[in-house]
Amino acid sequence: MTAAVEIEDLAKVFGGLRAVDGVTLRVAAGERRALIGPNGAGKTTLFHCVTGTLLASSGRVKLYGHDVTHMPEHRRTKLGMGRTFQITNVFTDLSLTENLALSIVGTDRRKWIFHRPLEAFPAIRAQALAGLDAVGLKDRADHPVRLLSYGERRQLELALALNTGPKVLFLDEPCAGLSPSERQRIFNMIRGLPRDITVVLIEHDMDVALGLADRVTVMHRGRVMAEGTPEEVQANAQVRDVYFGHV
């Protein structure tokens, strides 16, 4: 079966620093893959190279068998890659509905129509409201984003990523900075995603990462040092040494 994501010997070099150093991964369609490791392990840089925020220095990235290594970010999005970022990245002066409408038209030819207001496209507003409803924010639809809590902004980012119709969803620390109740809410939303969406997430909260993942990849110093089921990774002595600072 064709993998959802294939990463072959991927590297990203910044001057003398090899932030990602020969990473090879294969993520099956429908899989939940957690990417863990200490700060500075290269996880977010790997995400950037896979999704097109950065171009890799070498190696290859495939999405369902299609080589996307040199494609710009917007073309990868159009082919089915969606992502959230480590730091929330939304338009705070716009309403929730307007944020989602922008994400919808961003991959649509209607983005070139500058002279008509959002109200002229009822189908876009309906899709935006459905996206907000899916993450529990429909009652805040016309509020400006600046009035949201940090946890609600995370929910909005998830809605933005899902509204592009992704086949593969990359989530960069979706629970970072959240209260326990907010963390549980995001956890439940991710766990409830349909299996026709492959999910790859970076997460430092081990309860979240191991609770969601089918398989776990551990990175250290830009390389993959271990991979397996959550139980296998938890039992790995080398992984424990890395997290407790012995390596």
* Strands of the sheet with 215-220, listed across from one edge: 81-83, 168-172, 198-202, 32-36, 215-220, 223-228
**How far apart are alpha carbons 94 and 148 in whole angstroms?**
12
Each residue of 122-181: pLDDT tens digit?
Answer: 788 898 999 999 888 999 999 999 999 888 998 999 998 888 889 999 999 999 888 899
What is the tally of structural domains in the chain? 1
pLDDT digits (tens, 9 = 90+) for 231-242: 999 999 998 888
pLDDT-derived band at 112, boundaries 50, 70, 90: very low
How many Å is the Cα radius of gyration of the chain? Answer: 18
Please say if the pLDDT value at position 190 is more than 70. Answer: yes
Whole-model pTM? Answer: 0.87
Return the CATH number at 16. Answer: 3.40.50.300
107 pLDDT band, cuts 50/70/90, is: low
Q: Please provide the DSSP assignment of 167-209 as one string.
A: SEEEEESTTTT--HHHHHHHHHHHHTS-TTSEEEEE-S-HHHH
Region 172-199 average pLDDT: 92
Tokens of 186: 């995001």
DSSP assignment letter at 115: S
Summarised one tens digit per residue, pLDDT across range 93-106 is 899 998 988 878 76
Residue 119 φ/ψ, nearest 5 degrees: -60, -20
What tens digit of pLDDT does each residue of 4-47 get?
999 999 999 999 899 999 999 999 999 999 999 998 999 999 99
Q: Which two tokens stand for residue 158?
A: 């998830």
- For 145, the domain range is 5-243
